[in-house]
Amino acid sequence: MKISLIAGLVAVGLLGACSAPQQYAEVEKGTVVNQVAVESIVKHDKAVVNASAIPVVDSAALKSKLTSLADGEELILEPGKYPDLGVLKIKANNVVIKAKEPGKSWFTGLVQLVLEGDNITLDGVVFSEGGPAERMGGIRFKGNNNTLQNSTFYFFNDKYKYEPDARRDEYPKYLWIAMWGKNNKILNNTFQGKHKRGTLLGIQKEKGDETADNHVIKGNLFYDHKHNQYEEFFYSDAIRYNSNSWEVIRVGDSKSSIYPSKTLIEDNLFYECDGETELVSLKSGGNNIRGNTIMNSASMISLRHGTYNTVENNIILGNSKYRSGGIRLYDEGHVIRNNYIERVMGTGNVRGGIAINTGITDVQNGERLSTEVKGKGLNKQATPYKVTIENNTVINSRQNILYSDKVHRVSIYDNSKVGMIYAGTDIKFKNNLSYAKIKKTLAVKGNDEKAKLVNPTYENELYFGKTKGLELPSQGISTAEPELKVGANGLIEAVGYDGGAKNLKVLTMADTGASYTIQK
């Protein structure tokens, strides 16, 4: 159902727990919870663009102009809905394509803008009432130093062929944005209502490219990202792969995951994003996920492939939503620092507040994933190694900290299991608060018999609540119940404890997204 951004946020956010009880667990009376109200998240004074008031205009002249832009030219788009532009390649450099009135120049029907030039800015436009003209999205960034800003993708799910294939009942994967090139930026845009399979924003490298990308994704609003709205899970034998590739952001892919991307994902708001396990999926190295707010989302930050990524200063509020999660990790050299995670309800051997997954590489003996070793290619699971986890707060989640014991499948299309798994190795824990007081919550969960962490270290850790499946050392860990208080930012702090997450800002709709909102 297509609803306005404002009304949708209020209806789902305010009424979710009572009108859709299957999505949220009950919270025990007397439980200390964050004081971040949905009303404060959705409150703003942005201009409202009425979709029905925008006329359909002839797109022929615009199509000609876009493909013949000269270097350095500025194109101002008059208000109107420009239908079925198709695939258009913009080859000019140093150009600006800007809506005369932000939010009132629409690209409808089937469209794909291919930004082949450098220093192109696309500003204030809307992609809606249609879909990508080709599966790699409504926009393909191919050049360098290009920017999408103050623009909106609004239920851009229509017009293209979308049905399962005859071979294995698999649905196609259509992105909204695909990004190559270097130093591109996605700034202060709104992405609402992606309801068909395919990553919303995917970053990839050209074949043979081993250099950093240095993209920036900042200040955006991602909202109402849902799976199975078109019964993609109808075919039971195909659920495993049809339930994959619903990420909001993917940085890299397995083939190029050994190379750096150095992409910054900063100051974005993710609200009601329920695509799949992975909300933001890193498949490359050197990235930074920093200062984002994730609220009421049945998904999690996933460090799937790649090394030396940093996840810091993020706020993740599950608010007892089923299948919500925090941060999960594989591979080497990451820093997980100063994140606040509360009441994420994911269970099993994948989801948790902070989930340290198992891998299939014997890192103690120097083994790494490699295209040269059968069964241990770059699309497999690299064992977590030399990861620093410090100054995080995890509150009243089903599995605050998870030492996973997962036995991995051979592939997404082969459900048989691998022969050997390895637990996280040389993991450093410092100054983390894990508080689990309410029913069905665990401060730490593991499985020492099957996947005991190797050489972990603990310093000034505070774990209050039940643990399961493991024996923790007494040195470096306190289990005393702390006094809790709610800070000025609405988040929970432990009184007198020099640890946990500090100095965080909860982002709102007023802080993020385009300067206008759309109503139909």
What was the pLDDT predicted at 516? Answer: 98
Residue with tokens 């919270």: 27
What was the pLDDT predicted at 22? Answer: 59
What was the pLDDT predicted at 28? Answer: 80
What was the pLDDT predicted at 26? Answer: 82
Name the β-bridge partners of 142.
Answer: none
Ranges of each domain in the chain: 46-313+505-519, 317-370+377-503
Which of 192, 204, 242 lies closest to 4 in space, CA to CA? 192
Query: What sign for the dihedral angle of Cα 412, 416, 419, 425?
Result: positive
What was the pLDDT predicted at 267? Answer: 98
DSSP string, 71-107: TT-EEEEPSEEEE--EEEEE--SS-EEEESSTT-EEE
Which residues are CB-contacts of 226 (< 8 A; sequence separation ≥ 6)?
Answer: 194, 195, 274, 275
What was the pLDDT predicted at 386? Answer: 98
Over the stretch 170-195, which tens digit does the pLDDT of each residue have?
999 999 999 999 999 999 999 999 99
Over the stretch 33-92, which tens digit does the pLDDT of each residue have?
999 988 899 889 999 999 999 999 999 999 999 999 999 999 999 999 999 999 999 999
What was the pLDDT predicted at 248? Answer: 98
What was the pLDDT predicted at 173? Answer: 98
- Ranges of the chain whose pLDDT falls below 50: 1-21
What was the pLDDT predicted at 24? Answer: 85
What was the pLDDT predicted at 324? Answer: 97
Which superfamily, per CATH, for 46-313+505-519? Single-stranded right-handed beta-helix, Pectin lyase-like (2.160.20.10)
State the Cα–Cα distance between residues 286 and 304, nearest whole angstrom. Answer: 13
What was the pLDDT predicted at 419? Answer: 76
What was the pLDDT predicted at 418? Answer: 79
What was the pLDDT predicted at 412? Answer: 67
What was the pLDDT predicted at 27? Answer: 81
What was the pLDDT predicted at 4? Answer: 33
